[in-house]
Amino acid sequence: MKRLLTVVLSALTFFPLLSSVQAKGNENNNPTAISNQPNFVPGELLVQFRANSVDEDENRVLGKIRGEVLERIRTHLMISEGRGNLLRVRFQPDLSQHVAIRLLKDDSIVEFAEPNWIYTHQATSNDTYYTNGSLWGMYGNDATPPVNGFGSQADEAWAAGCTGSNSVYVGIIDEGIQFNHPDLIANVWTNSFDPVDGIDNDGNGKIDDIHGWDFAGNNRTIYDGGLQGLVDSHATHVAGTIAGKGGNNKGVAGVNWNTTYISAKFLGQNGGTTANAIKAVDYITDLKTRHGLNIVATNNSWGGGGFSQALLDAINRGGDAGILFIAAASNGGADGVGDNNDTTPNYPSNYQCTSNGKDYDCVIAVAAIASDGSRASFSNYGATTVDLGAPGSGIWSAVPYNKYSSFSGTSMATPHVTGAAALYASRNPGATAAQIKAAILEKTIPTASLAGKAVTGGRLNVGEFCQ
């Protein structure tokens, strides 16, 4: 039911930018099912060897494709799990990708071989864009204007004194984030395990990862900015919806006024790869399993690749650690019209996270609705593969250079749900991932445009979390 990897801003159909993101795929994780024209890195494969393999065996197998090892992906979690080497390999150009994969999979020491897919981007507030009527995704049905019954009802939670807690953490797997934005600086994670001193104090292979890590550039700089803020605008916008500081008389307010976000940047201007997505997912999981951070969810407003067993393995490791993987259902194909993820799987939203005997699926797939309650025309849907809808059209949030802008896409709907997960966790300390997911889905509001188009047939209802 869920799938993954080349990130292209595909969960976004934003204004002024255009982008897209994806979410759930099919019911059975069929490795042969391919989403709408997925892209991959030409000439590269990800090769997972079995745990009992040795260098001599691996060299022999790679000789079949005259393969060159570009990278050994060995995260702490892979090592502790006892997995064999996962290699990013370049094969010879006279071989087709299909032939190279077949030659490798025919050998008993190879667990799987697959493309390196490319993904792209998918209290009462006194904050400016809330009071002027722009921030409709946070509104509810209460008597105090501004009012919009198709919003997330977050303002009803705020009115009940439910504004989040900085002891609850979320990971944002995406582009980078302008963490010093006036509406974001208060809630960015600061790594106490690895102070800035040029030493890898926490032993995770990342030196001075003070606010997170850039896996695309392999450095600690999570914000690159760029001309007119076009670089890292997507994730900055996502962060503002999850954790924009509310009640500060400026800008926007996130679903949580108080929650701690961690940046795991793997998307760049040209998207991101499966290899880097795996490292980003494991980075967040490692922070929870080794350091005990109360990470309840990751936001994944991206998609575009085909099925990846390696990525699904990483998502499962997060699910085993109690981390929800909240993903954009994507924005349709080249025609800009939403597709049915039940029949045309979208990854990573179509993945099912049910390894190691888990009694829950850690993936939540999110569609986008407009301010009139209609399903956004660009939004993918799926009666069995998309869980719920959330505000995703004309969503105002933070963008680089201390500015604000309106974007549209399933990329914008997804952080409303991620914020909801963190808000529920702040109100219900000790709640498991399964309980948080169940609460989100059980409290949805039935919505005509989502009937037969989503598992719940409804839209996000944050207001019920703090009753």
Q: Using alpha carbons, list the distances in angstroms from residue 424 to 69, 82, 265, 269, 445.
A: 44, 34, 25, 34, 17
**CA 355, chain centre distance (Å):** 19
130 and 368 in contact (C-beta within 8 Å)? Answer: no
241 Cβ contact list (under 8 Å, min separation 6): 137, 252, 254, 255, 395, 397, 412, 415, 416, 419
Question: Three-class SS of residue 173?
Answer: strand
Strand partners, 86: 48, 73
Strand partners, 8: 120
**Token pair recorded at residue 455:** 């598992």
Q: Which of 121, 181, 211, 234 is catalytic?
A: 234
Rounded CA separation 301/21 (Å): 6
Q: Which of 411, 416, 426, 449 is catalytic?
A: 411
For residue 300, what is the enclosing H or E element?
Answer: strand 295-300
For the question of residue 234 being annotated catalytic, the response is yes
- Compute the distance between CA of residue 14 and CA of residue 395 in angstroms, rounded to an integer: 9
CB 101 within 8 A of CB 129: no
- Dig out the tokens for 51 from the structure: 């745990």
What is the C-alpha separation between 223 and 371, in angstroms, rounded? 31
DSSP β-ladder status, 295-300 and 86-90 = unpaired
Separate counts of helices (H) and strands (E) for the chain = 10, 18
Cα distance between residue 397 and residue 407, in whole Å: 8
- Quick check: is 232 catalytic? no
Q: Determine contact, residues 148/161, Cβ cutoff 8 Å.
A: no
For 68, the enclosing helix (H) or strand (E) is strand 68-73
Place of tokens 């001075």: 208
Angle at 177 between CA 365 and CA 376, to 5 degrees: 35
Per the document, the length of the chain is 467
Alpha-carbon distance values, 114 to 48, 96, 253 (Å): 9, 13, 41
121 assigned to active site: no
Annotated active-site residue in 10, 19, 165, 174: 174
* Catalytically annotated residues: 174, 234, 411
